[in-house]
A and B are shown apart, each in its own frame.
Chain A
Amino acid sequence: MGSRAFRILVKVGTALTLAFLYIPLAIVVLYAFNDAVGQSWPIEDYTTKWFGIAWRDVRVREALVNSLQVATVATLLALVLGSLAAFAVHRFRFFGRTSVSFLLVLPIALPGIVTAIALNTTINNFGIPFGLFTIFVGHATFCVVVVYNNVLARLRRTPTSLVEASMDLGADGWQTFRYVTFPAIRTALVAGALLAFALSFDEIVVTNFTAGSTPTIPKFIYNNLRLPRNRPVVNVVALAVVLLMLIPVYIAQRIAGGADVATRSRASDLETVP
């Protein structure tokens, strides 16, 4: 498998794969500057006028505020629950320990529609009004695993001898956490939080079932996609969302180091499953 022709074939294949991955995103970027309301290619005239129109659109603003609120609260809860679970699994041996990872990853590992309708029937049954609270409950549930995976991976890389040394030197549990453990996991927490935030901001499959008529940014896109005259605003919102998402993910990648941070939360959610 080392022949010259083979290498060239692999290189061409790689280039084509990258083109396949990025051309659709490039097209979204270009369409945001499309002057025409119609969506035919190639784009005739470019303009930035839709950005102003989208910015002043009250429906976009309402959806944005909702999305930011839900993502913030869901991230905070995911931070607490995710790191607690990571500590429990890392520090202790107990009955059912391996099932904890499995339980936490379940909301993402099961087909999205399952989590969605499970939450929907429960909310319906208890007569809880659909709204920001119900969206938040769903988001928090599947954001926990993102924080959990990042913190657990960091804890496993941090030598326990540091904690033992701290105890030997007379520090109590709080001091050890404050001066030894917390600094060690700080960047993992930030990375986990950014990824959880991005995940919540992005979610539509479950949100559609838990939101009722409350708009979020993905719901705004989903509802307006089919209305041709709203397409230009959707184009702009789509571009904004892509940029808004890539920034936190890029930062998370930088601070926690390595290409595996973002993948750890999306592509290898099953890695902690026994």
Chain B
Amino acid sequence: MTTVRQDEAGPRRASAFLFRNPRAKLGLTLAPPLTWFVVVYLGSLAFLLATAFWYLDVFTAEVVRGFSLTNFQTLLESDVYRTITIRTVGISAAVALTDIVLSFPLAYYAARLATPRVRNALLIAVVLPLWANYLVRVFAWKLILTPSGFLNWLVELTGLGSLQLGRSNWSVWLTFVYLWLPFTLLPIYAAFERMPSSFLEASADLGARGWRTFRSVVLPLILPGIVAGSIFAFSLTLGDYITPELVGNTQFIGNVIFDNVGVAGNIPLAAAYALVPIGIMAVYLYLAKRAGAFEAL
């Protein structure tokens, strides 16, 4: 007994105290990360929300820290901003849809036809490009899409004439499809993998051909995976401003925000506009949750 008492100094006593008081232990463990996130992140988001109601003084162009709905009025009533919002959401949806369709062959092959070895190699091959620097991958497409670049060369090689996308919405769409493809591939792969073979056999036994089985059996089963994958493709396109700037010739929501923080100098308007993607994503995530997408991740 005496030896234990001698030991009970410093660290050992602290350890014993924490053992007897799990609440204190929890507090010590949770406080640092929670403080950081509440102060730095939630604090910043709160500031963003507040800034959205500030406005620029018409005469001095100084930010007035009052309360006004001017920014929202501008965003709703101006044709320019409405067009930009619709374009951003439209291209985001198109990108998500294209990525979903492109994901099917590889996801199906990896999940249901490949040997475990090949499957692992394929999954790593899908994920690795995600880590090869976002900007470099956009840059790669800038190289490919220039009029004298790889894409035009490839099309001319086939003898079908020439294809010069240059700076266009098509280029933006194609680059985004490339950037986020792994994000849709992985959940769709996981959904295919979870799909029981017996369902397919039953469908075939009941006389359904390939397309019918796909539409009535496979598609409902993998729908949560599809929705889960689309969240990333959609959200990441919605919040991007670099790709439209580098390979496109039109503006996205992000470009307006970037310009207003920088050159145009209307931070309150930028803050108000940033609430638009938040609102869209909130609705999207709510619908995705109802579709069971989070269990599919």
Contacts and interface: CB of A to CB of B under 8 A. Distances in A.
A238 B186 contact: no
B135 interface: yes
A3 B209 CA distance: 10
Interface residues of B, number: 100
Interface stretch (B67-75, B77-85, B148-156): B148-156
Contact of B140 (A24, A104, A120, A125): A24
Contacts of B274: 113-114, 117-118
Interface stretch (A57-65, A180-188, A266-274): A266-274
A242 B132 contact: yes
Given A107-B41, A242-B133, A114 B261 contact: no
Nearest to B140: A24
A6 B210 contact: yes
Contacts of A246: 128, 131-132
A122 B200 CA distance: 55
B133 A241 contact: yes
Contacts of B137: 24-25
Contacts of B222: none
Task: Pick the most buried of A23, A28, A267: most chain B CB atoms within 10 A of its CB.
Answer: A267
B106 A113 contact: no
Given A24-B178, A205-B241, A262-B128, A41 B135 contact: no
B15 interface: yes
A271 B148 contact: no
Given A39-B143, A125-B47, A246-B128, A84 B30 contact: yes
Given A122-B44, A234-B139, A117 B131 contact: no
A167 to B, nearest CB: 8
B62 to A, nearest CB: 13
B129 A22 contact: yes
Contacts of A222: 135, 242
B291 interface: no
Task: Pick the most buried of B12, B29, B102: most chain A CB atoms within 10 A of its CB.
Answer: B29
Nearest to A234: B139
B240 A104 contact: no
A221 interface: yes
B43 interface: yes
A104 B33 contact: yes
B263 interface: no
A141 B40 CA distance: 8
Nearest to B253: A113
A121 B44 contact: yes
Contacts of A76: none
Contacts of A161: none
Given A27-B144, A113-B240, A104 B37 contact: yes
Interface string A203-220: 011001100000000100
B131 A118 contact: no
A122 B109 CA distance: 48
A263 interface: yes
Nearest to A144: B33
A119 interface: yes
A110 B106 contact: no
B109 A118 contact: no
B47 A114 contact: no
Given A111-B236, A141-B40, A267 B128 contact: no
Nearest to A272: B297
A255 interface: no
B224 interface: no
B144 A124 contact: no
Contacts of B160: none
6 contacts: A85-B30, A110-B235, A222-B242, A238-B135, A238-B136, A267-B186
Given A113-B257, A221-B139, A262-B124, 13 more contacts: A21-B125, A24-B141, A27-B143, A84-B29, A92-B26, A111-B277, A113-B239, A140-B36, A174-B12, A174-B15, A198-B131, A263-B123, A267-B187
Interface of B: 11-12, 15-16, 18-19, 22, 25-26, 29-30, 32-34, 36-37, 40-45, 47-48, 51, 102, 104-106, 108-110, 113, 120, 122-137, 139-144, 146, 148-150, 152-153, 178, 181-183, 185-187, 200, 204, 210, 213-214, 218, 228, 231-232, 235-236, 238-242, 246, 253-254, 257-258, 261, 267, 270-271, 274, 277-278, 281, 294, 297
